[in-house]
Amino acid sequence: MSDKKIRVVHYINQFYAGIGGEEKADVPPSEQEGVVGPGLALKTALGNEAEVVATVICGDSYFNENLEEASKTVVEMIKKHNPDVVVAGPAFNAGRYGVACGAVAKAVLDQLGIPVVSGMFPENPGVDMYRKYAYIVETGNSAASMRQAIPQIAKLVIKLGKGEPMGTAAEEGYMERGVRKNIFVEKRGSMRAVEMLVAKLNDQPFITEYPMPSFDRVQPGKAIADVSKAKIALVTSGGIVPKGNPDRIESSSASKFGKYDIAGVSDLTADTYETAHGGYDPTYANTDADRVLPVDVLREMEAEGKIGELHRYYYATVGNGTSVANAAKFAKEIAAQLVADGVDAVILTST
């Protein structure tokens, strides 16, 4: 590549653009010349080798709720600035922002063939959904890690902008993309496997060539001796909320959950309840929310003495794209309240 500066277009959400927080998450795509918000730090890190020629901005809610239209508009805005590399985020652990950054990366790579660099917390749902479409730098949980993330993002931007071959994730400092490449090594696989096994048996360091996923182990709860005397609560990730979604639970990448009183309620009608979930066809849930949250059946069981009682509150959130960290946080808060209310068992429903 010549001495000409690498051209970079930066994609950010409404918060980092200084437009506003959740109340402004519905703003449609727009663009500005030069740097905006965290683009200033990116500009500094890029030095004289690259320049941020434009910034494209879109509200997280608008993007996720209008995915096809928003992607098309954002890509058109990016294309006209003729970038060599696109930077999306960093999004840290903001779920909807991460998903938007990933969707932008996929659209840019598919339609324009331009490499994209982003930054996210490993548990951001955008990582698993879009890791193969972008070079994603691992960040901390919040924007407090911006100072560490930006230099690494800039390093990848410069390398990609110069057209230099990209090394492995470990060598270059990005999260594994799930993209396999054939390489030639001196020792065959069986020999390398035996060497790793011997190292492991001798408590010596080794690096696996095929890391396995790690899953939490959940200890099963104790069996209920007599369900007919138990207080049962309902919790759902299917997004069932009172009509109008009073807590404004997001349709994707939820940042909150709701607690709702169903004392005296025996049927979730279309006039009183709906789903806030954006990851499935809501038609049947909106027609009869009992299909997702079976209040009607549990009321019948309560009347027949098959359960002791149905707890007067149920808890709801949206599982669509919600980060593991947020889900775990919700679970701890909800569980503490259920225990304090003397609930014996929970029926957890999904979609």
Residue-wise pLDDT for 232-250, tens only, equals 999 999 999 999 999 999 8
273 shares a domain with 134: no
Does residue 220 fall inside a structural domain?
no
**How many Å apart are CA 131 and CA 101, to the nearest integer?**
11
Does residue 231 fall inside a structural domain?
yes
What's the structural domain count of the chain? 2
Does residue 42 fall inside a structural domain?
yes
Cβ distance 59 to 27 under 8 Å? yes
Does residue 189 fall inside a structural domain?
no
The residue-averaged pLDDT of 116-126 equals: 93
pLDDT exceeds cutoff 50 at 27: yes
232 shares a domain with 163: no
Give the domain range for residue 312. 227-349
239 shares a domain with 126: no
Share of the chain above pLDDT 70, in %: 99
Q: What is the 3-state secondary structure (H, E, C) of 294-345?
A: CHHHHHHHHHCCCCCEEEEEEEECECCCCCHHHHHHHHHHHHHHHHHCCCCE
What is the DSSP secondary structure assignment for residue 272, as one 8-state letter? T
State how far the alpha carbon of 64 is from the alpha carbons of 131, 210, 251, 307, in Å.
18, 33, 8, 40
**How many Å apart are CA 276 and CA 257, to the nearest integer?**
11
What pLDDT shows up at residue 168? Answer: 86
The residue-averaged pLDDT of 3-30 equals: 93
Does residue 238 fall inside a structural domain?
yes
Name the pTM for this structure.
0.70
User: Which of 128, 148, 172 represents a domain boundary (last residue)?
Assistant: 172
The residue-averaged pLDDT of 288-309 equals: 97
What pLDDT shows up at residue 3? Answer: 65
User: Which of 172, 189, 217 represents a domain boundary (last residue)?
Assistant: 172
Does residue 212 fall inside a structural domain?
no
pLDDT exceeds cutoff 80 at 213: no
Does residue 71 fall inside a structural domain?
yes
User: Could you give the count of Cα atoms lying within 13 Å of 141 in the half-sphere of its Cβ?
Assistant: 4
**How many Å apart are CA 43 and CA 23, to the nearest integer?**
29
User: Which of 150, 172, 194 represents a domain boundary (last residue)?
Assistant: 172
**How many Å apart are CA 62 and CA 30, to the nearest integer?**
12
Cα angle 101-102-106, degrees, rounded to a multiple of 5: 120
Does residue 246 fall inside a structural domain?
yes
